[in-house]
Structure 1
Amino acid sequence: MTQNRRFILRRRPQGDPVPQDFELVEEDIPAPPPGGFTMRNVYCSLDPAQRGWMSDEESYMPPIPLGDAVRATCVGTVHASDNPDFPAGSWVMNLNAIEDYTAVEPGHFTAPVDVSLADSPSRFLSAMGAVGLTAYFGLTEVARPQKGETLCVSAAAGAVGSVVGQIGRIMGCRTIGIAGGPEKCRRLVEDYGYDVAIDYRGKDHDALRAELASAAPDGIDIVFENVGGQILEAEIFELAKKARIVLCGLISEYNAVEPHGLKNLWQVIVKEATLHGFLVMDYAPRFAEGGAQIAEWMQQGRMRIDEDVQHGIENSYDAFMRLFSGRNTGKLILKIG
């Protein structure tokens, strides 16, 4: 390639992102910065958190500047290097952007990737990347499940939720998954081993709460929350005493002009529950440990990780919006290389 294609954020989305919020531009391929390298991005991770980074609001990451490429975790190869630790041709992972080439400064959050450890380099964005590690540390370190407890997971057929349910099963939990549509609910039980699947589509608050009460007559001990809104509200009413809520994501709120807002937060007091906001980056020093455990479970056939790989940087917008329409069938990844 002679040009660097970049998926640019032109304006901040209001509600659902629209194609006019973005632009695909071509620029010169950047040269390696002193002591750094130029990375050829092959796979880019598409995640709900990117919607938050598009807004001009305080977060754990600074907003994406207007006129800059949309930020993404990427796996790719070193195109040209001024750093002997990252020779040309070697595989690496870094927080870059949705673009063909990225100039990586020295000392950046960069990790070499041993592609021989996986059937595809994309696994370092799913099972052995942020998805698997979010599920692993969020459940094992924050929720600390005990054998026989009831675990409820929202967006349970999604990239993180499907892994959480499988880890919960391995640790001896009874698992309830909430997903949208009969096909996803089928996958929850048949592919990911959930004990109960609840389809939230077409159900109001009372109907959803009734299904949760039937599935967990003694209450829910652990909620691993990825959705928020009406689903979280129903779950809170069905908590067991001393329950733990791991607040990992709120995908139902990200495009909302008016956030739902919880109307029953007082139940957290009544049930003496805990609500823990969780960011996987806090466990960065232990990523190798979590990745090794997930790899072992996969090798033993105890865990299944699905990927939804879309192709072509020109399809960036359509691929990203799969996150919010529920069309993705696993960890959503864009292959651009």
Structure 2
Amino acid sequence: MKRIFTKKFLLMTSITAGLLLATPSLSPAFKGMGAPEGGSGMTSPHGGESDTLDPALMGHQGNTNIIVANVNGREITMGELMQSIMTLMTRGGYGGREMSAEMSRKLRYDALQELAMEELAYQKGISLGITADPAAVQKHLDAKISAAGGRESFDKSLAEQKKTIADVTNEISRFLVVREAINQDVYRKAMVSPEEVDKVYNANKAQFTAPEQVTITDVIFFLDPNDPAAVKKVEETAKKITEEHNNTPSGLAPDGFVVESGVSVSPQDRAGLYEAARKMQPGTLSGPLVIDGTLHLIKLDHYQPAVETPADQAKSAISAQLKRNKRQEMLTEWRNNLVKSADIKITHELLKDEGK
């Protein structure tokens, strides 16, 4: 009698990732597990159709009806595994890379895990009494037909994939069941209390205040601040800036001074310049300043006071983030629990070692 190897899988699947992000579109694994609608069938990123892949290398020896695994009594065939592999290849950046034995092994492993997790999620939805709303199924189907460029193109794509409308309808139904299962069992239970929000808000108030902004143009003179002639030269330079350069110091040709534009100052950085700038109006030019033993002229280019986000707005953002975090944690736990309670058997010889 052939031995049955039991292996439980733990993974983040495309479907749960898509649902977690609240994306309305179907996950890649529920889009026919092959080429996108309107494409040319299950085309390998390496060129040609999927059946150009070495059957022995991929593990099916040309027989897609072989049972490769059993998930709580539901059999998974090699054909399903191959379709899942092609989906992973399409979205996983394998194009142009030679299909080595090691890469094939990883693809088989990842694809089988994804199939198992999706089946477990679907079974959970059924156990909760969830069914797909026919109107919602039709809406998704219509969207897929439209995305394919119309019914004729859609039917052609299905024929190339050896699929029927019934197959696609079933895939959509399964997706909707899983989505509602996650909504019921995870999302709607992810609650955040006002106390949790207040705790985060009080510990991070500074993050909800945009800091004060003070930006200046600094004209730095290489002169003795104790020399009256030097001070007079600074005054003359200030007059020239005002009368001839429209209060724009950068328009001056350097003459015993340098001009630094876009200088941010604060109580912690260039405090002397900051204190002088705070007494000015934006666009104005100072008189001669002696700061840290150096002569300066400064123009206040920009001033913006600190802006505090209103508490209710900040707390709303905190609540939303905490809820997202909690949903992620609960979804991970939900997946883990599905796997822990599952009876998953690998029945294909090639895959047994890969499931260990």
Higher relative contact order (CA 8 A, sep 6+): 2
TM norm. shorter chain > 0.5: no
- Structure that is richer in strand per residue: 1
- Structure that is richer in helix per residue: 2
Smaller-chain TM-score bracket: under 0.3
Which one has a bigger Cα radius of gyration? 2
TM-score of the aligned structures, taking structure 1 as reference length: 0.24
TM-score of the aligned structures, taking structure 2 as reference length: 0.23
